[in-house]
Structure 1
Amino acid sequence: MLTSILSLFGGKANATPESDFWKWFQRNEQMLFNFEANQERTFDLLAAQMQRVHPSLTFEFGPVRGGKREFIISADGIREAFPKVEDLFAAAPTLPKWEVIKFRPRRDPFDIEYGGISVKASTVLVIIQGDGAKAGLTVLIPGYTEAQRNTYMGVAYLVLDQALGEYDVETRVGFIEVKAPNAAAKGAVTVQQLPKAFDAFFIRRGV
């Protein structure tokens, strides 16, 4: 009897927000895997569970491929929450129907509508420069004006997040500037070329 009581309380003592989350995830796996059946309710429930781990954590789902779905754990670009992304990812059990991914990964850039502005990904150029141990990026967006600087900065962050992924943008990128394209944009690369050019920048520096 005493052993049972100690075991009961020991189990509760060893529980963590991360382990509690994954227990909930497994209990609700069917609902989550088929979230399209009731997307709003499912996302609300999942968001509430993730915020118990950390208020800044968020998520993305990928499409079903080969009977599996991607489940992406994100800090929504908030650096202070990165350790919690790592902790939640590390605590994930074996889930045969899921590919669990930490941080939003690199993706093929797509056109963006943000703050009333439409930007075609194919028209955006990026200049890479040294910024201490990091890469400073100047994003050249057609139509840029100083009057709409904040909106265009939002577009720039979305473009970079797509091309480089959440982790690299927050840990390896220094300054980010936005300008209109001009003839002096020497060495600029397209956003499609950016991942390879970005990685090569650090290889040349031996990082």
Structure 2
Amino acid sequence: MKKAFAGALIVMGFSLFGNSAKASSEDRFWSWFAANEARLFEFEKDQEAIFDSLQAELQRINSDLTFEFGPVKDGAREFVISAGGIKSAFAAVESTYAMAPSLKRWVWVKFRPRRWPLSDLEYGGKKVRAEEVRYLLAKDGDRAGIVLFFDGYNEQEKGAYGQMAYLLLDEALGEYAVEAQVGFIEFHSTESKYFSQSSPLPELPQHFDEYFRSRAH
């Protein structure tokens, strides 16, 4: 009986230590952030060094975590905690956000939010204007499949177009929605037989929201 009781205490102690160890990594990050708050708020003065330090501190929580800064508005900045589009890191985003302190000059945001207007992009020698990209929304189980149409798209350069497509979708729908609500993502040229059914990409956010609202009723 004593042995069983001792064993239970060991298991309980291990569980508590594990939880506190995990929490301490987030506590450590926010303590570091608060101590460096003035430098972080004016990161443009030493951007490379500050970003390197910030990324290193975040990755002590989870190696996939990353971040974004917003511009200063009304004396405050947004600080975005992102999983870099990697779903396995979503829990780390949630736990880090949940432990964020109250700092007067900061607004905390979990996951990259929608951005407007959508950005024009250049990647791998390719330039894409967001307003010239078109999309088609389709049912994919309990998710929404998306086909994106690019002028000049070809399979040989699928990698470059794919990178730009995910950046555009992140801006249009937000990081969380792309991972949690979007199913298949396909790329077609404007010569596709489906192109005539497509709509301009700037209309996607409203169409996407309407699609899921209609499924909820």
More helix by share: 2
- Structure 1 residue 201 corresponds to structure 2 residue 211: yes
Q: Report what 2:47 is aligned to.
A: 39
Structure 1: unaligned runs, 5 residues or longer: 1-9
- Alpha-carbon distance between aligned partners in 1 of 2:29 and 2:208, rounded to the nearest angstrom: 35
Among candidates 17, 26, 38, match of residue 18 of structure 1: 26
Q: Report what 2:6 is aligned to.
A: none
- Alpha-carbon distance between aligned partners in 2 of 1:98 and 1:143, rounded to the nearest angstrom: 42
The percent of aligned pairs where both chains have the same amino acid is: 46
- Structure 1 residue 160 corresponds to structure 2 residue 169: yes
- Alpha-carbon distance between aligned partners in 2 of 1:36 and 1:147, rounded to the nearest angstrom: 38
Q: CA deviation at 1:186?
A: 4.2
Q: CA deviation at 1:151?
A: 1.4
**What is the count of residue pairs matched by the alignment?**
196
Name the amino acid aligned to 1:134. R
Structure 2: unaligned runs, 5 residues or longer: 1-16
Q: Deviations over 1:78-130 (max 9, x none)?
A: 00000000000000011110001000000121100011100011100010000
Alignment of 1:104-143 (within 5 A): 104-108=112-116, 109-143=118-152
- Mean Cα displacement is larger for which, 20-29 or 150-159? 150-159
- Alpha-carbon distance between aligned partners in 1 of 2:149 and 2:103, rounded to the nearest angstrom: 42
Runs of 4+ in 1 over 2 A off after TM superposition: 182-187
Coordinate RMSD, CA, aligned = 1.5
Instruction: For residue 160 of structure 2, give the secondary structure of its aligned residue in structure 1.
Output: helix
- Structure 1 residue 48 corresponds to structure 2 residue 56: yes
- Alpha-carbon distance between aligned partners in 2 of 1:159 and 1:114, rounded to the nearest angstrom: 12
